[in-house]
Structure 1
Amino acid sequence: MSTLRLHVPGPLSSGLTLDLPPAAARHVQVLRCQPGDPLVLFDGRGGEWTAEVRQMGRREVGVQVQAHVEVERELPVAVTLAVGMPANDRMDFLVEKATELGVAVLQPLVCERSVLRLSGERAERKREHWQGVAVAAAEQSGRTRVPAVRPVQALGEWLRAAGGAQAHVLSLRADARPPARLAPASSGALCCLSGPEGGLSPAEEDAARDSGFAPLSLGPRTLRADTAPLAVLAAVAAWHAG
């Protein structure tokens, strides 16, 4: 059985003793860990830490941090996926798989054709839920950093502060270029905008282009809202594998 990996907000340091956050503590309890059992912790600041369970309480789990291990499993390209939120549990799936593939930032968007429309407290609850999905996926996949899930925004509002030479919008238009032309900026950053079910409207795609987004094609087939951005991210991850 592999050693349990857990995200702890930190910062962590050698010799530190602490109680695990509630979600991490429940995970340890469900697996019936005992004092002396090893753990691997990461705080999102790079690398990971060996640790040991020291105390099992009814609700609290005490651990001691041991040694820092220099390990890097992140993409060298900081990829932002800005997505028109798919409905039902498809956004959960997208967040989980994008985290496994190495996304740095996820920006949920409300677009003209969006089925899922969130605002106010409901939007923030969903964002917190998706951030939890990202934490769990980072723990499982061996990542040393957890992607940030940004607050839900309307596409137009987000575009006013987005864009740039290395920003792309997924498009079925004839002038859209294949992903082989993707290249990160000198800063190592890349942004990809993808629509909801039904895609971006023509006016939204025009607005994205006006904001500096270059049209990107994934071929003649129409991909689902939770598939298209993952295809781009998988291509970037494959190019930088090893």
Structure 2
Amino acid sequence: MTPRFYCPQTLQLDSPFVLPAEQAHHARQVLRLQAGDEVVVFNGEGGEYRGRLNIEGREIAVSFTAYDAVERRPPLEIHLVQGLASGDKMDWVVQKAGELGLSSVTPVAAERSVLKLVGERADKRVQHWQQVAVAAAEQCGCNRPLQVLSVHKSLAAVLAQDFAGERWLLDPDEGVALSRSEAPRGAVQILIGPEGGWSPAELATAHAAGCRRVQMGPRVLRTETAGLAVASAMLALWGDY
């Protein structure tokens, strides 16, 4: 696969582009690219630029040869609200959500979340997850990296925000089977609880907010599996699978 670099800057077909230091280091020291090698550069605004490397000393530039307006996000816009999970589970969720083409992940400090993040520690973790999302976009060919939003202090805080779409809650006990559900009309937000699931109070809050309850069969899925499984199923039913 042609190496791909995410550079959130202005790109022009007729203007050589100097790779930022971090991307240049990756190209030289990790990928071992040479002058004349073909690469792809994208800035997250849609489309991508194809070009060849020019190397002068420590500077690596790309001479663009073509622009492709390709869009690889699925037609179904999916946003994941993920209860904070422990260990490296959040890294896994963010990476795979990016590979699937989801639009965003909102980490939420659920009542039963084992992982606790506040202040500077939360900001640093979000920055780390955003880099995970960028790497996933570079690897999978998506030209719009998934956006990792700030850690929200509660599910109620998420639901209090305006969202131009539907909100779906995965509920193995009372949800309607996904295969029997009507397709979402526009964007959809999937609410996934942490390891211990949503608390009764959180479920009541979601119900009061008008969230649609759906299920993926009678089995209880792990927190790092649930959102990715339901997103994949939705893309198979109403997306581009």
Normalising to structure 2: TM-score of the pair?
Answer: 0.92
- Are the equivalent residues in 2 in contact too, given 1:34–1:56 (CA < 8 A)? no
Distance 2:200 2:37 in 1: 56
- Structure 2 equivalent of residue 120 of structure 1: 119
Which of 176, 187, 190 aligns to 2:188? It is 190
- Are the equivalent residues in 2 in contact too, given 1:164–1:211 (CA < 8 A)? no
Measured at CA, do residues 56 and 67 of structure 1 come closer, stay the same or move farther in structure 2, by a change above 3 Å? Answer: same
- Are the equivalent residues in 2 in contact too, given 1:165–1:213 (CA < 8 A)? no
SS of 2:131 mapped into structure 1 = helix
Which of 211, 214, 217 aligns to 1:213? It is 211
**What is the Cα-based RMSD across aligned positions, in Å?**
1.7
- Structure 1 equivalent of residue 91 of structure 2: 92
Measured at CA, do residues 40 and 164 of structure 1 come closer, stay the same or move farther in structure 2, by a change above 3 Å? Answer: closer
Whichever residue aligns with residue 209 of structure 1, its letter is: H
- Are the equivalent residues in 2 in contact too, given 1:108–1:152 (CA < 8 A)? yes
Whichever residue aligns with residue 196 of structure 2, its letter is: G
SS of 1:227 mapped into structure 2 = helix
SS of 1:153 mapped into structure 2 = coil
- Are the equivalent residues in 2 in contact too, given 1:96–1:137 (CA < 8 A)? yes
SS of 1:212 mapped into structure 2 = coil
- Structure 2 equivalent of residue 23 of structure 1: 22
Equivalenced residues, count: 237
Distance 1:178 1:33 in 2: 49
Measured at CA, do residues 170 and 38 of structure 1 come closer, stay the same or move farther in structure 2, by a change above 3 Å? Answer: same
Q: Following superposition, which runs of at least 4 residues in structure 1 exceed 6 angstroms of deviation?
A: none
Measured at CA, do residues 164 and 49 of structure 1 come closer, stay the same or move farther in structure 2, by a change above 3 Å? Answer: closer
- Are the equivalent residues in 2 in contact too, given 1:35–1:53 (CA < 8 A)? yes
- Structure 1 equivalent of residue 234 of structure 2: 236
Structure 2: segments with no counterpart, 5+ residues: none
